A = this chain, B = another copy of it.
Amino acid sequence: MTAESAGDTGTDDGDSVVYDLDPDCTTDDLERGQPYLAEINGIVDYGVFVDLSDDVSGLVHESVLEGTFRVGDELVVELEAVRDNGDLAFEPAEIDVDDEYDVESISHEYSLTGTNRLKSNVGDQIHLEGEVVQVKQTAGPTIFHIADEHGVVPCAAFEEAGVRAYPGTDVGDVVRVTGTPEHREETLQIEVDGLSTLEGETAEEARERIQQAIDERAEPHDVEPLIDWPAFEKLRPSLREVAKLLRRTVLEGRPIRVRHHADGDGMCAAVPVQIALERFIEEVHEDDHAPRHLVRRLPAKAPFYEMEDATRDLNFALEDREKHGQQLPLLLMLDNGSTEEDVPAYETLAHYDIPIAVVDHHHPDPDAVEDLLDAHVNPYLHDEDYRITTGMLCVELARMIYPDLTDELRHVPAVAGLSDRSKADAMDDYLELAAEEGFDEERLQDVSEALDYAAFWLRYNSGDQLIQELLRIDADDDERHEELVAFLAERSREEVDDQLEAAMAHLEHEDLDNGAHLYRIDVENYAHRFTYPAPGKTTGEIHDRKIEDTGDPVITVGYGPDFAVLRSDGVRLDIPRMVSELEEEIPGGGVSGGGHLVVGSIKFVKGKREEVIDALVEKMADAEIDEALSSAAPIDDD
């Protein structure tokens, strides 16, 4: 940007530069002693009037002018004086206009007001720069949600009722907004006077600045783990990455959909993370509805991410984008999502910009899922196992996101561990920690049973408030909590007893060749259907009693018309291998299934049940005894 002119005499501090004010510059951008490009817009007896920008004009008195001028001519001027009434007087700059000089644009120096300072500027016009993270067209104004270094604020721009304002501006653009923060019925929002999409370098600079700030702000808090636990340390860095990803997701205004295993550990994992995210969103977003709109927790119907859930999640995501201009969500899978069975659902979402993060402690199929995930935390990826439960991990995750939750969560890892019968070394420490909060082991066990029982009756409802009460997070009455969980746990145990009273009489026993006991129970015919406990839990409870009764290796098979639930303690079943073999050996059996060494479930067609189960038992009789193996790992209860 050079212009063909040159000054004859040097000026103080810019002999070869002349400044050109941008049209939106004001007198604030004017400095004394600097040469500015001006255009003559009027000629009068006593001088000429010049424009330096839309807002900056003034007189050059005839006494300081030489030569003749026409309207439209350019002059290089400097400020001479500001009159009492605000009028400006200019004089020709001491520059030889025949010399070459550089012309340098001057942008208006906006004094930007970050979203952190809106409350103290209510009613005053301010400027804001940020990235558009949501564009919601109401039938009135268009609402741009804009994220800057400090937070996210809704900005209402009105073109005409229901007509998209600034149609050229969309999610992902970096914009400069001039407007006035106002209280609206339900929120603080900026009433937009002007909005411009930044472009080129300016945009890049702003984006970089914002992204860098978001990046810094996304950094999780460095919280010390609740207990000292070397095994956990191995997972901590990757958990930290998930915390950062989630914080960044909040800062960027993207919604988060949490799908979790609907059991005790799954709820101990999902509820703290949900609350941590909600509180962080509350901190970041001026729109007070944001926590409700941006986080949704949903129990999963199966122990994996079903196509049914994925189809619905995708449809909801697309509808939220269409109706509310939201970004597509991040999917957070908790206590669930590490296996090959999740792949079709993940692949469906992969056609869209929907990041996926998984925190799970079920035996993973990393080769199958890794390419589809943006983050994956699983103890098996670090030579640890299910004993580090997802609930234990997620309490730390929640604390990394929002450390102030810590005091409400100290007892939760112990509940998670008991729910999944974790034999982790750390259990003692967790139990002690819980005890300090008034939770002895009996009460923790009650919480675990009560969670399981309530979740069963809530079915697909996430039951936010009741589950929070049972977990005693954000709850007020400690005594009531203790009584309530004791009551529900007692109910649960009675109903399990009722179920087992019927079932145990029909339990078939067999001594396998490998020395293990095999117990079979027809849960369709000898257990109550559609009630608590469901077949999986019924089978598990029978299994546990038999382990205690016998002290020997035990396998238990609970079967219905077209499914079987398997549990082993002390026998290495390797269920995925058994399933593959059965699939091959029994044509027309429709065998499929999942699980790992000692826990799993198998499906088949109803008409081949006998054949499938007989073949399965034969395999079990050949399976290797390994007394260290325990089925205490979580199992699907449906």
Contacts and interface: CB of A to CB of B under 8 A. Distances in A.
Given A139-B187, A344-B491, A466-B318, A502 B590 contact: yes
A527 interface: yes
A386 to B, nearest CB: 28
B454 A347 contact: no
A592 B529 CA distance: 13
Interface in A432-478: 454, 457-459, 461, 463-466, 469
Interface in A186-225: 186-188
A421 B315 CA distance: 27
B461 A139 contact: no
Nearest to A463: B315
B311 A454 contact: yes
Interface string A293-312: 00000000000000110011
Interface string A579-609: 0000000011110100000000001011110
A503 B140 contact: no
A28 interface: no
Interface residues of A, number: 74
A463 B316 CA distance: 8
Contacts of A506: 588, 605, 607
Interface in A122-162: 138-140, 160-162
A502 B589 contact: yes
Contact of A314 (B138, B162, B466): B466
B505 A587 contact: yes
Number of copies: 3
A287 B532 CA distance: 42
A311 B138 contact: no
Contacts of A121: none
A484 B349 CA distance: 9
Nearest to A347: B487
A185 interface: yes
Contact of A140 (B160, B185, B608): B185
Given A562-B529, A605-B526, A606-B525, A588 B312 contact: no
A307 B161 contact: no
Interface in A308-349: 308, 311-312, 314-315, 318-319, 321-322, 344, 347-348
A308 B503 CA distance: 23
Nearest to A491: B344
Given A188-B161, A466-B318, A528 B487 contact: no
A183 interface: yes
A288 interface: yes
Given A186-B138, A562-B528, A607-B506, A315 B461 contact: yes
Rank and list the top 10 A-B pairs by shortest CB-CB distance, nearest first. Answer: A505-B588, A502-B590, A139-B288, A525-B607, A318-B465, A311-B457, A315-B466, A139-B186, A162-B288, A525-B606
Given A140-B186, A344-B491, A502-B588, 10 more contacts: A140-B185, A161-B188, A162-B187, A311-B463, A312-B457, A312-B458, A312-B461, A312-B463, A319-B465, A525-B607
